[in-house]
């Protein structure tokens, strides 16, 4: 500690103390030898104390409090709409669809987003209607229950923002649409005109993309913890065994998961190889 200032015992140092606290200057005021002594940690702080004391109590009282710089988290959220607009847009659309469909409980809302349209008989059509081409992608926004929605939204946030901050929004949008079409089509070919939906096929595609790309062209954005990769792949295998369905958690779109993962790995292999060659 360094002695910065000596003052008379009857002198009011409260304006100085308030000023130092507002500026974050570490200090201590003690009584020594019949005097008030201000101690600080270094010479820079001591100079601040001396300069402030020289201004006088009234000047210190009138001095405006400094604005604290926003935290990194606050700065990120203020800029999120510019940094990760596609990630936020996909999550927003997913939330809106969840409201429109009552999280999968409103049949009237659900049929607006199914892979095949509803026939006059009240059943889903056996074949896609290419005049309603948007249905090739809309099932990714369907979710059945709050846990289904929360799990998928969390992982899209985690993976989507990594890709968008590394490669840009258009690249993430292209990946999402392409993997979505691949995974939805694969699930329809596997299960026929049945009801399915969810972002999980896209998620496994983004996971595969990041994983393979990172193997070929390492970067800080795609450096996922090994435990995350193992957990997601273990969950994929567990779902394929049928145990999750037997436990009453509902039908799992395994074809969408597997096809999305394979597509993501393939795209990651091409993109990672090209990046490595550069």
**Catalytic residue numbers?**
200, 257
For residues 130, 173, 147, 112, the Cα torsion angle rounded to the nearest 10 degrees is -20
Contact 214, 232 (CB under 8 A): no
Q: How far apart are the first and last CA of the chain?
A: 55
Tokens standing for 37?
A: 């002594």
**Pairwise CA distance, residues 208 & 261, whole Å:** 5
Which residue carries 């009282």 as its tokens?
61
Asked if residues 273 and 216 have their Cβ atoms less than 8 Å apart, the reply is yes
Residue 262, Cβ density class (10 Å: 0-12 exposed, 13-18 middle, ≥19 buried): middle
| d(C-alpha 243, C-alpha 56), whole Å | 76
DSSP 72-118: HHHHHHHHHHHHSHHHHHHHHHHHHHHHHTTTTT-HHHHTTTSSSPB
């Amino acid at each position: 500690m360094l002695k910065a200032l000596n003052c008379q015992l009857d002198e009011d140092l409260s304006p100085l103390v308030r000023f130092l606290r507002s500026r974050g200057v570490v200090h201590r005021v003690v009584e020594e030898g019949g005097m008030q002594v201000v101690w600080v940690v270094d010479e820079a702080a001591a100079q601040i104390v001396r300069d402030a004391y020289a201004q006088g109590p009234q000047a210190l009282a009138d001095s405006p409090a400094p604005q604290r710089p926003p935290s990194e988290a606050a700065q990120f959220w203020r800029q999120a709409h510019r940094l990760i607009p596609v990630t936020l847009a996909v999550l927003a659309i997913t939330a809106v669809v969840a409201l429109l469909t009552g999280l999968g409980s409103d049949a009237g809302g659900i049929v607006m987003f199914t892979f095949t349209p509803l026939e006059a008989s009240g059943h889903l059509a056996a074949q896609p209607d290419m005049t309603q081409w948007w249905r090739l992608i809309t099932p990714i926004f369907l979710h059945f229950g709050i846990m289904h929605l929360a799990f998928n939204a969390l992982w899209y946030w985690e993976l989507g923002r990594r890709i968008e901050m590394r490669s840009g929004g258009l690249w993430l949008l292209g990946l999402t649409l392409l993997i979505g079409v691949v995974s939805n089509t694969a699930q329809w070919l596997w299960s026929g005109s049945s009801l399915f939906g969810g972002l999980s096929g896209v998620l496994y595609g983004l996971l595969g993309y990041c994983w393979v790309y990172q193997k070929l062209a390492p970067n800080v954005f795609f450096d996922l913890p090994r435990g995350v990769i193992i957990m997601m792949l273990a969950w994929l295998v567990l779902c394929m065994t049928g145990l999750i369905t037997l436990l009453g958690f509902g039908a799992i779109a395994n074809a969408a998961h597997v096809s999305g993962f394979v597509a993501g790995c393939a795209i990651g292999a091409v993109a990672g190889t090209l990046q490595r060659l550069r």
